[in-house]
């Protein structure tokens, strides 16, 4: 068994490479396609993502949790879930085709949607196999899969750009990456367990998994809607170019969010499940550590990114995308809350509070859609970002109301760390603000990192003992963090 912290390290490497590679690819793709075509491209990805829950029904979350608790059930649980996914895939494509005709998508958009659907299916099956590795607390294979996935996307994508391929075919690099991702997941599984996964249907087992899945399912449905409805509503309530602005701005915090937050949540979730049934005090300590480390990463990015938003957009995408600057500022303000939500949502699922998680997502999703309907016609892409931020604040408040009953967050050490991290981030942002006209963007980022690092050291946010513990966490094996 690999330690939680080592798993976090492995996934951080994989997620950071994946998201940096994706960010670099989408930067070039946005310039290559232009604002309107980039909007069409992202609309197709967001539209197909709205229905991803059909492919998985949240069984991957159940699989991870149940294997973490009882590994002997691995084959029978996996076989039943794979059996279900075959039929879910057929239904998923039928739904995409039907909706495309009902909504009268142009032929180009229809093809983009179908290819994005193929990508979704490949990644869904791959994630099921990687859910097994998460359950046995070994994330090395998923990390390698993520790296190989995005390497394939970069190679195929840049080749297609060099050959001047049209918009529709520019979805194929992602599909190629999905094929690599799925192939590696299946190969890793066969090598690790010495057998090919089998489709199994046992009514009693499937009913058990189905009942365990139901509380997760509602949460996942609203999560998918919440994360993907913005670009879809922008397309219908405004225009494709505004989808392009929003997507360009969102790619930057999204790369940070899914790399750092995704790695933390993926590695902490099975450990939350483990300690919940063994030691509540260790469970509380693990959650508090996660909160402190996520704020350490996210708050300086929030403050520094907001100060440099216009320079970042111009440097990355060019002057055609400058209207996305305000949108980027709003989305960066939401970043710390998003990262915390990754861990808090994983925590609630692990302690069997899926129903509470479901209610929170449902309330937030309805508020998000309502806010979008009112704000998009007025503020366009920035209206979608503002709706996202407001509804995210609502999620955090609702989560905190419950969690403060479960744990005592009036921990003086934790509160002091949070205050000092906030202060260091704010001071760094002020320094960068006054230097922003004197240095180019790369030097400003480096100066910001240096100033923040010095302030963390001066404020002694983490003691020498804690730094030594961090070294042990990432480079020594233990059963759990």
Whole-number Å distance between alpha carbons of 278 and 422: 34
Q: For 253-271, b where at least 16 C-beta lie within 10 A, e where not — what string?
A: bbbbbbbbbbbbbbbbbbb
CB contact set of 113 (below 8 Å; sequence gap of 6+): 44, 47, 48, 96, 100, 105
Q: Tell me what pLDDT residue 477 has.
A: 40
Q: How many CB atoms lie within 10 A of CB 91?
A: 12
Q: Tell me what pLDDT residue 5 has.
A: 59
Is there a contact between 31 and 164 (Cβ–Cβ < 8 Å)? no
Q: What confidence tens digit (pLDDT) does each residue in 223-271 have? A: 889 889 999 999 999 999 999 999 999 988 887 777 677 667 766 777 7
Residues 385, 391, 395, CA angle at the centre, nearest 5°?
135
Burial of 422: CB neighbours in 10 Å, binned 0-12, 13-18, 19+: middle
Whole-number Å distance between alpha carbons of 174 and 162: 16
Beta strands in 141-261 (DSSP E): none
pTM comes to 0.85
Could you say which residues of the chain have pLDDT below 70? 1-8, 11, 259, 262-263, 266-267, 405-409, 463-481
Whole-number Å distance between alpha carbons of 243 and 233: 9
Q: Tell me what pLDDT residue 129 has.
A: 95
Q: What confidence tens digit (pLDDT) does each residue in 88-140 have? A: 999 999 999 999 999 999 999 999 999 999 999 999 999 999 999 888 877 78
CB contact set of 207 (below 8 Å; sequence gap of 6+): none
* First CA to last CA distance, the chain: 12
Kindly compute the dihedral angle of the four CA atoms of residues 44, 47, 50, 53, in this order, to the nearest 10 degrees.
-50
């Amino acid at each position: 068994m690999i330690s939680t912290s080592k798993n976090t390290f492995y996934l951080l490497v994989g997620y950071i490479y994946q998201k940096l590679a994706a960010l670099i690819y989408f930067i070039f793709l946005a310039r290559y396609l232009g604002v309107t075509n980039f909007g069409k491209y992202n609309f197709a990805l967001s539209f197909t993502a709205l229905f991803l829950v059909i492919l998985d029904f949240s069984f991957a979350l159940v699989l991870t949790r149940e294997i973490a608790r009882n590994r002997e059930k691995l084959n029978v649980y996996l076989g039943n879930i794979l059996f279900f996914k075959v039929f879910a895939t057929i239904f998923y494509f039928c739904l995409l085709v039907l909706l495309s005709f009902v909504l009268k998508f142009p032929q180009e958009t229809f093809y983009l949607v179908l290819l994005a659907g193929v990508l979704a299916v490949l990644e869904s099956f791959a994630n099921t196999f990687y859910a097994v590795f998460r359950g046995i607390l070994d994330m090395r294979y998923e990390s390698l899969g993520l790296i190989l996935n995005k390497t394939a996307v970069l190679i195929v994508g840049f080749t297609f750009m060099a050959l001047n391929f049209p918009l529709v075919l520019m979805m194929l690099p992602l599909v190629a990456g999905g094929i690599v991702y799925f192939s590696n997941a299946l190969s890793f599984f066969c090598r690790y367990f010495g057998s090919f996964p089998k489709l199994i249907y046992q009514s009693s087992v499937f009913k058990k998994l189905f009942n365990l899945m139901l509380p997760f399912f509602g949460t996942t449905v609203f999560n998918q809607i919440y994360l993907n409805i913005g670009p879809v509503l922008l397309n219908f309530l405004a225009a494709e170019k505004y989808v392009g602005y929003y997507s360009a701005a969102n790619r930057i915090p999204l790369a940070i969010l899914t790399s750092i937050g995704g790695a933390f949540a993926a590695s902490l979730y099975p450990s939350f499940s483990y300690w919940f049934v063994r030691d509540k005090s260790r469970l509380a300590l693990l959650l508090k550590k996660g909160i402190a480390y996520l704020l350490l990463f996210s708050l300086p990015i929030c403050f520094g990114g907001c100060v440099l938003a216009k320079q970042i957009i111009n440097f990355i995408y060019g002057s055609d995308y400058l209207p996305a600057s305000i949108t980027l500022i709003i989305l960066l303000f939401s970043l710390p809350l998003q990262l915390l939500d990754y861990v808090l949502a994983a925590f609630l699922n692990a302690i069997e509070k899926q129903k509470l998680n479901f209610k929170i997502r449902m309330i937030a999703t309805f508020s998000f859609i309502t806010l979008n309907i009112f704000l998009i016609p007025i503020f366009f892409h920035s209206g979608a970002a503002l709706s996202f931020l407001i509804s995210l604040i609502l999620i955090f408040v609702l989560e905190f109301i419950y969690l403060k009953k479960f744990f005592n967050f009036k921990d003086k050490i934790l509160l002091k760390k949070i205050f000092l991290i906030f202060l260091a981030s704010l001071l760094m942002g002020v320094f960068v603000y006054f230097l922003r006209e004197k240095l180019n963007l790369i030097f400003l980022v480096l100066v910001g990192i240096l100033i923040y690092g010095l302030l963390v050291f001066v404020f002694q946010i983490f003691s020498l003992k804690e730094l030594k513990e961090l070294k042990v966490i990432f480079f020594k094996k233990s059963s759990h963090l």
